[in-house]
Amino acid sequence: MRSDGRQPRDLRPFAVTLHPNKYAEGSVLIEAGDTKVLCTATIDEKVPPFLKGQGKGWITAEYSMLPRATHSRNQREAIKGKLTGRTMEIQRLIGRSLRSVVNLNALGERTITLDCDVLQADGGTRTTSITGAFIALALAIHKLSGNVSFAKYPLTDYLASISVGVIQDQPVVDLNYEEDSRAKVDMNVVMTGARAFVEVQGTGEEAPFTRTELDGMLSLAEEAILQLIQLQKNTLGAAGARIGGVQP
Q: In what order do the strands lie in the sheet with 111-120?
A: 14-18, 26-32, 35-44, 111-120, 58-65
CA atoms within 13 A on the CB side of 65: 23
126 is in an annotated binding site: yes
Rounded distance between C-alpha atoms, residue 203 and residue 186, angstroms: 5
Residues that bind a second copy (CB under 8 A): 20-24, 27, 34, 38, 40, 42, 44, 62, 64, 66-73, 76-83, 85, 87-89, 91-92, 96, 99-100, 113, 115, 117, 119-120, 187, 191-192, 194, 196-211, 214, 218
108 is in an annotated binding site: no
Rounded distance between C-alpha atoms, residue 24 and residue 116, angstroms: 13
* 7 vs 211, beta carbon nearer a second copy: 211
**Smallest separation, CB 115 to a second copy (Å):** 5
* 9 vs 96, beta carbon nearer a second copy: 96
Neighbours of 59 (CB within 10 A): 25
Question: CA 161, 166, 170, 175 torsion: positive or negative?
Answer: negative
Question: CA 46, 51, 54, 58 torsion: positive or negative?
Answer: negative
* 121 vs 175, beta carbon nearer a second copy: 121
124 is in an annotated binding site: yes
Rounded distance between C-alpha atoms, residue 124 and residue 111, angstroms: 27
Rounded distance between C-alpha atoms, residue 80 and residue 112, angstroms: 27
156 is in an annotated binding site: no
**Smallest separation, CB 98 to a second copy (Å):** 10
157, 236 contact by CB (below 8 A): no
* 7 vs 201, beta carbon nearer a second copy: 201
* 115 vs 179, beta carbon nearer a second copy: 115
Mark the binding-site residues for phosphate, compressed into ranges: 86, 124-126
Mark the binding-site residues, compressed into ranges: 86, 124-126
